[in-house]
Structure 1
Amino acid sequence: MSAARHPYLDHPAPLPFAHRGGASAGIENTLTAFRRAVELGYRYLETDVHLTSDGVLVAFHDETLDRVTDAAGAIAELPWSVVRQARVAGREPVARFEELLEAFPQARWNVDVKAEPTVRPLVEAVRRAGAWDRVCVGSFSEARVARAQRLAGRRLATSLGTRGVAGLRLLSYGGPVAERLLGAAVRRSAVCVQVPERSSGIRVVDRVFIGAAHRRGLQVHVWTVNDERRMNALLDLGVDGIMTDDLETLRAVLAARGAWV
């Protein structure tokens, strides 16, 4: 199934993604943050998932509660009865991923799988909700993406992992090694490549890279862009989506270009 045919991408590009629901608001990955994003007109929401010690899938970026909540400890070592008492920014509860699927039935979710134990519970949550058209799974780990594909099949949209991104970058310059790095198993359900503009000082996103992705039916989504000038520059290059913490700025940029839908 090509990127153009997958229902996850049934929205005119460029796609605006609310990164963690708009992390600049200070209440990232919470029901309140995502509700605010939806009220601003965002249809694409980005989040991360971790699993509690008793198997509850939560929308949370860090491995521990320490940075953004009034509690502490590794989520994987704590039961849901403890995690649910934590408050993001001292006031917002940690959200279960299935709760988000239920609360925003029209939203598209970009989900970063943060740890191996979350893969099967995530696929099962998507299955229970019948949300195959609404979820795209990605991870820095190629193995996690591949496992999600094996469990769900091509009905699940995915983005390329780090090996696939490296292969695509090399492929943009040509060569058989790049084809092997991309890997047929990874390509089968990939609908997009999601990358930073630069990595370790090396430019990732340019016209050559975007062209290589588009020739293979992959959209290019860039994270995390909060600067108006960079947003415009990337859109001028032809990227298909931008993830941002600054929801108002990205909306204004797209509106000024006649591209806010």
Structure 2
Amino acid sequence: MVSAVQRIAHRGGARLAPENTLAAFRQALALPVDAIELDVQMSRDGHLIVFHDATVERLTDGRGNILDLDFAYLRSLNAAAHFPGGWSEPQRIPTLREALEVVRGRRLVWIEIKPSRRGSVYGRYPGIGEAVVSELRQCDMLDQAVIISFDWYLLPEIKRLAPGIQTGAIVSEDIWDPQAGQALDTLLEQVRELGCDWLDLEEALFLPELPALIHSYGLKLGIWTVNSAERLLSLAEGGVDALTSDQPDLFAVLSLDR
């Protein structure tokens, strides 16, 4: 029997539609998903945009770093320009508000707040935490959202602004490497002290004993990014709480037992 695991469409389903676009989010709503995951950054002039990369070349027909680009230019770009196989219509980079209005009342939303990045130098967009919480509050979606980030020290600020909201620390191989002898207990204690509800773990780091241990710390375990039906089923049976996939159509393998 498969446990009741939250099924999350990564960037709206990045293998099925241009990632982080309204087209992807709308398509995901027709699939067996419980939540839409999206990435939030900020234009140079302070607008919240839904976009993953620090630069626009991989996904759009434009050039430049988000840090240097105004909202008007970003909105002029086609976010479906390089989708494999092409896409029938151009897609604008959405605002967070536009994305929330698509999802509101229909699914949960997982919002990854991205750091700014120029080369190897990471930073934080000024006021991005307050701006994201404000948008969620205005949409009456604070109880329908999970805020996740690699910027762990932003998460307590999110909790201060909205004490009831769920937050999660993203953990990749760059952060925790069990093969190097890094203690999981130390990691979990740190995440708990930050007031997080979730540990969002890279798939390659999963170990069968992790769900029970993470649950013993009062945390829930999410796994990203899982793109095979067999692996989704195995992880669900292993006791994880959420699974994120670029191919949310694969979640059909979990639906029979829900």
Could you tell me the TM-score, scaled by structure 1's length?
0.81
Query: Structure 2 residue aligned with 1:67, among 37, 58, 70?
Result: 58
Q: How does 1:93-132 map to 2 (within 5 A)?
A: 93-106=92-105, 107-115=107-115, 116-117=124-125, 118-132=128-142
Alignment map for 1:85-96 (pairs within 5 Å): 85-90=76-81, 91-96=90-95
Shift of 1:233: 1.7
What residue is the counterpart of 1:17 in the other structure? 8
2:155 aligns with 145
Please list the CA deviations of residues 78-121 of structure 1 after superposition, one character each: whole Å capped at 9, or x if unmatched. Answer: 11111111111231111101111122212211111112222221
Alpha-carbon spacing, 1:236–1:162, altered in 2? closer, same or farther (3 Å): closer
Q: Distance in 1 between matches of 2:198 and 2:45?
A: 33
SS in 2 for 1:16: strand
CA contact (8 A) 1:206 1:237 kept: no
Please tell me the residue identity of whatever aligns with 2:165: L
* 1:228 matched to 2:229: yes
Q: Which residue of 2 aligns with 1:159?
A: 168
1:194 aligns with 2:237: no
Distance 1:75 1:67, change over 3 A: same
Change (3 A) 1:75 1:216: same
Question: In 1, distance between residues paired with 2:41 and 2:131?
Answer: 10
Q: What is the alpha-carbon distance in structure 2 between the residues aligned to residue 55 and residue 178 of structure 1?
A: 33
1:158 shift after superposition? 0.1
2:188 and 2:110 map into 1 onto residues whose CA distance is 26
* Secondary structure class of the residue paired with 2:227: coil
CA separation in 1, counterparts of 2:215 and 2:188?
Answer: 15
Q: Look up the SS of the partner of 1:82 in the other structure.
A: helix
Q: 1:212 to 1:235 in 2, by over 3 A?
A: same
Distance 2:80 2:100 in 1: 23
TM-score normalised according to structure 2 size: 0.82
Give the counterpart letter for 1:170 in structure 2: A
**Using the alignment, how far apart are the partners of 1:39 and 1:193 within structure 2?**
27
Extract unaligned runs of 5+ from structure 1.
Answer: 1-11, 199-203
Per-residue CA distance 1:93-151 (angstroms, 9 max, x = gap): 11101111122212211111112222221122112222110111111121122222233
What is the deviation of 1:161? 4.5
* Distance in 2 between residues matched to 1:83 and 1:246, nearest whole Å: 27
Q: Secondary structure at the match of 2:212?
A: helix
- Partner residue of 2:31 out of 29, 40, 50: 40
Q: Distance in 1 between matches of 2:112 and 2:188?
A: 25
Alignment RMSD = 2.4
Letter in 2 for 1:146: P
Superposed displacement of residue 76, structure 1:
2.2
Length, aligned pairs only: 232
Alpha-carbon distance in structure 1 between the residues aligned to 2:32 and 2:192: 36
The answer for unaligned runs of 5 or more in structure 2 is: 82-89, 116-123, 177-181
Equivalent in the alignment of 2:121: none
